[in-house]
Amino acid sequence: MSAYQPGSWALSGSESWRCLWWWVLACGVAVGSGDPWMSAEACRSSCSCSSTRISCVDPEPGISSFPSLQSDAEMENITDIYIANQNGFSSINDKDLHHYKNLRNLTVTNSRLTYVSKLAFENNLKLQYLNLKDNNLSSLSWRIFKHLNISYLILSGNPLRCSCENMWIKLLLGEEADTQELRCTEDGGARKMLSSLTLPNCEVPMATVSPSKTSVKEGENLELSCTTSGVPAPELIWKMLLASNYEIETSGQISVLRLSNLSSLDHNSKISCIAGNIVGEKESSLQLDILFPPKITKLSDAIPDHHWCIPFSVAGNPAPLFQWYRNEEVVTEDDYIMTMIHDVTEREYHGCLQLDNPTHINNGRYRLVVTNEFGMDQKEVDAHFMKQPWDDVGPDYYEQPSDTPTVNPPEDRVAVYVVVGIAAVAFTGFLLMLVILKFGGNSKFGIKGCVLFQRIPVEVVSR
Ligand SMILES: *[C@@H]1O[C@H](CO)[C@@H](O)[C@H](O)[C@H]1NC(C)=O
Ligand SMILES: *[C@@H]1O[C@H](CO)[C@@H](O)[C@H](O)[C@H]1NC(C)=O
Ligand SMILES: *[C@@H]1O[C@H](CO)[C@@H](O)[C@H](O)[C@H]1NC(C)=O
Ligand SMILES: *[C@@H]1O[C@H](CO)[C@@H](O)[C@H](O)[C@H]1NC(C)=O
Ligand SMILES: *[C@@H]1O[C@H](CO)[C@@H](O)[C@H](O)[C@H]1NC(C)=O
C-alpha cells in the first residue's frame, strides 16, 4: 500500500484522506491489529472491565444482573467476575453467564443473591472458584455443580436452612464447612453448625447393576437389573448408547433393562444405572462383552512404508487367530513377514501383514483367514512388491506397484505453481499501478470526490 501516494490520486486536503480511508475499508484491508469500532463502553457504570476481568463494586447506581459485553469474543476472554455490594442483585438465571465460557472465578458477595438456577453454570465448564459469601441463599441444589470441577465453594453468611436439600454441602465440604463457619437455620429459627446437621431419611442413594459381569453371544438376549436404596426415594436412569433393541421397566426401587438380539456393534459399550435424589447420586455400570465370529472389515493393497504393509481391520470377540496364505500356500511368519496389530479399538483390530524388504518372490495373491470359536472369515488381495527383472529397474531396491503410473514428486509441481503464482500477482500489481497513475493524473477522470476510485474499473473496461 505504501507505494501509492495519496497525491497521485489528484485529490486534495481532508477529502482525499476521507476517501483513502473509505477505499482502504472497501478493499477490506485490515488496518493494524485493533478494531477501531469495537467499543469498550459496554461495561456498566457500577463496574470496571478489563480484557479478562469484570468487577462491579459500586452500590450506586448498582446492577441487578450480570453485565453483558459488546461481543461474544469479549465475553469469552473474561476469566474473572467480581460482584459486591449490589442490593438489587438477587438471582443467577439460566442464560446469564452463557457467553462467559472461560469463566474461572466468580464472586457474588454482600448482595441479595437468593436464587441460582440449576442451569446457571451450564456453559461455564472451567468454573473453579465460586464465592457466594454474605447473600440471601436459603438452599442450593447439588445439580447446579454436577458437571463442574469446583475447587472452592464459599457459602458462609447465607441463611441456609437445616434441610435435606442442603445436606450435600456438608458432605462436599467436610471439615471445610467448619473452617467457613457455615451455619444453618432450623425450622424454629435456631442456628447450628452445618457440620453437625443430621437428618433422618436424608442420604445419598445406592445403585447396583446386576449381573456385574456378563458375556453373551451376538443375537441373544440379556436382562439387567438395577436396584437402589435411599431416602428420599431416588429416580433411576439408565445411561447408554446402544445399537441393540431394548426396553426398560421400572417399578419402585428396581429397574429392569431388557436387551434383545444383541448386536456385536455394542461389544465393549458401557451401560450405567444412575440413582439420584436431592442429596446426590450414585452410578453403577457394566461393560458389555458380546461374543461374535470374526469379520474382516478391511483388507487393502500393499503400501510401502518403513516396511511394506498389507493393511487390515478385523472385528471379533474373542480375539481371532490370523493365518495368511500366499497363492494358497501357508505363509510362515518370521522376522521378515509377520502379522502386526497396531491399534485395538472397541471391537476391531487394525494392523498389517508386515513384510521386510520383499522381492518379486513375495508377489502373489494373499488370503487372510481369521477364526475364533464362533466362526471364521476370509478375504483376498493381490500384492506386487517389485518390478520384474526384465522391466527397467530404477535405482531403488523396491518400487511402486508397477500398475501405478509414475508421477513427478508432488513437491516439484507445487514449487512450479508457487513461482507462476508469484509472477502473476506481481504482474497484476504492476498493471494496476500503471492504470492508477495514468488515470489519476488525467482530468477527464478527475471528478471530485470518491467517485474517481469507484469509476476506474468501469472506464478501464470501456476502453
Ligand atoms: C481475547 O484474548 C486474546 C488473547 O489474549 C486477544 O488476542 C484477543 O484480542 C482478545 N479478544 C477480545 C475481543 O478482547
Ligand atoms: C481466583 O480468585 C482467587 C481468590 O481471589 C485467586 O487466588 C486466584 O488467583 C484467582 N484465579 C484466577 C484464575 O483468576
Ligand atoms: C431473602 O430470601 C427470601 C426467600 O428465601 C425472600 O423471601 C426475602 O425477601 C429475601 N430477602 C431479601 C432482602 O432479598
Ligand atoms: C478437576 O480439578 C482437579 C484439580 O483442581 C484436577 O486434578 C482434575 O483433573 C480435574 N478433573 C476434571 C474432570 O477436570
Ligand atoms: C437381529 O439383528 C440382526 C441385525 O443385527 C437382524 O438381521 C435380525 O433380523 C435380527 N433378528 C431378529 C429376530 O430381530
Q: pLDDT of the chain along its 463 residues, tens only?
A: 333 333 333 333 444 444 334 443 333 333 333 333 334 456 778 899 999 999 999 998 889 999 888 899 999 999 999 999 999 999 999 989 999 999 999 999 999 999 999 999 999 999 999 999 999 999 999 999 999 999 999 999 999 999 999 999 999 999 999 999 999 999 999 999 999 999 999 999 999 999 999 999 999 999 999 999 989 999 999 999 999 999 999 998 999 999 999 999 999 999 999 999 999 999 999 999 999 999 999 999 999 988 999 999 999 999 999 999 999 999 999 999 999 999 999 899 999 999 999 988 999 999 999 999 999 999 999 999 875 455 444 444 434 444 444 444 444 454 545 555 556 666 666 566 655 555 544 444 433 333 333 333 333 333 3
Taking the CA of 104 as reference, the closest ligand is: 2
Q: Whose CA is nearest to atom 3 of ligand 1?
A: 77
40-196 under CATH 3.40.1190.20, yes or no: no
pLDDT score at 29: 37
pTM of the model: 0.67
Evaluate: CB of 55 within 6 angstroms of ligand 2. Answer: no
Q: Specify whether the CB–CB gap between 404 and 302 falls below 8 A.
A: no
pLDDT value for 68: 86
Angle at 269 between CA 263 and CA 273, to 5 degrees: 115
Which ligand 2 atom is at minimum distance from the Cα of 80?
A: 14
Whole-number Å distance, alpha carbon 285 to ligand 3 midpoint, is 42
What residue owns the CA closest to ligand 2's atom 13?
Answer: 104
Rounded to the nearest whole angstrom, what is the distance from the C-alpha of residue 154 to the centroid of ligand 4?
18
Domain residue spans of the chain: 1-16+408-463, 40-196, 203-287, 293-383
Judging by beta carbons within 10 Å of its beta carbon (0-12, 13-18, 19+), is residue 395 exposed, middle or buried? exposed
* The listed CATH number (1.10.630.10, 1.20.1250.20, 2.60.40.10, 3.40.50.620) that belongs to domain 293-383: 2.60.40.10
Question: Is 293-383 in the same CATH topology as 40-196?
Answer: no
pLDDT of res. 43: 77
Strands 348-355 and 337-344: antiparallel
pLDDT of residue 124: 96
| Domain 203-287 of CATH type 2.60.40.10 | yes
Distance 149 CA to ligand 4 centre (A): 6
pLDDT at 13: 41
Per-residue pLDDT, 306? 85
Find the 171 Cα to ligand 2 centroid distance in Å. 24
Provide residues with CB under 6 Å of ligand 3: 90, 112, 114, 136, 138
How far is the centre of ligand 2, averaged over its atoms, from the C-alpha of 62 (Å)?
24
53-56 and 91-92 strand pairing: unpaired
Can you give the pLDDT at residue 396? 43
The reported pLDDT for the residue numbered 27 is 37
Q: Is 134 in the pocket of ligand 1 (CB under 6 A)?
A: no
